[in-house]
Structure 1
C-alpha cells in the first residue's frame, strides 16, 4: 500500500507519514522495486498506534525507541513494557488534572447560572 492510500485509510496526512518515516519510525516498512514505501496491513496497525500515542504527546524519540526495541525481538519486551507503563502513569496524572479542572468549571457554571 502506498503513502496516499495509508493516509486516506487512517486519516493522517501524507506529509505526517513521510515525516514519521524520516524520523525513523518505520525501519521495517518494505520498499518496492522503484523505492516507494510499500505498507502492509501489519504496518497500518503500527501507524495507528503511533497516531494514538502522538495524540497523547508521546515523544517521537520514545516511539523510535519502541520501534527499534521491537525490531530487536522479544528479548526487549520488558523494556517496551517499562516505556508503556511510564507513559500510562503520565496519562493518568494528566487525566486527574483534567478531571479536577472539569469539576472547577462545573462549579463555575453552577455559579453563573445562579446569578
Structure 2
C-alpha cells in the first residue's frame, strides 16, 4: 500500500506516518523501485497498534521503547515489554478515573443549566402580556 492509502485507511496524516517511521514507532517501511513507501500488512499492523495506543494516551517515548524492545527479539524482551504495558495500563486506569470524575462534574453542570433554563422560561411566561403575547 502507498502512504496515501495507509493515511486514508487509518485516518492519519502522511506527515504523521513519516514521523512515526522517522522516530522508530514503525519499523522501517520498504520502498519500491521508485523510492515510494510500500506498506506491507505487517507495517499496517504497526500503524494500527500505534494509533490505538496513542489514542489511549500512551506517550510516544514509551511506544518507541516498546518497538525497540520488540525489534531486539522476542525471548529476550518479553518480560520488559509486559512490564512496560502493565505500567501503562495502571496509568490509563488512573486517567480513566479522572475522566469519569470530570464527566460527572460536567453532567452536574448541565443539570444546573437545565434547571436554570426551565426557571427562566417560567419567569418569561409569567411576565408576558397575555393580551399581546
Could you tell me the TM-score, scaled by structure 2's length?
0.76
Conserved 8 A contact 1:32-1:38? yes
Conserved 8 A contact 1:58-1:87? yes
Instruction: Quickly say closer, same or farther: Cα 1:111–1:79, change in 2 above 3 A.
Output: same
Q: Which has the larger radius of gyration?
A: 2
Conserved 8 A contact 2:69-2:81? yes
2:85 aligned partner:
84
Conserved 8 A contact 1:50-1:63? yes
Structure ranking higher on relative contact order (CA contacts 8 Å, 6+ apart): 1
Deviates more, 1:64-73 or 1:25-34: 25-34
4+ residue runs of structure 1 moved beyond 4 angstroms?
none
Structure 1 gap segments, 5+ residues each? none
Per-residue deviation, 1:67: 0.9
Per-residue deviation, 1:2: 2.0
Separation of aligned partners in 1, 2:45 and 2:31: 18
Q: Say whether residues 1:45 and 2:41 are aligned partners.
A: no
In the TM superposition, what whole-angstrom CA distance separates every residue of 1:27-80 from its partner, at most 9, and x where no partner exists?
343333444332111211110111111122322221111111111222211111
The number of residue pairs the alignment matches comes to 115
Per-residue deviation, 1:108: 2.4
Could you tell me the TM-score, scaled by structure 1's length?
0.86
Computed over aligned residues only, the root mean square deviation of the Cα atoms, in angstroms, reads 1.7
Structure 2 gap segments, 5+ residues each? 117-133
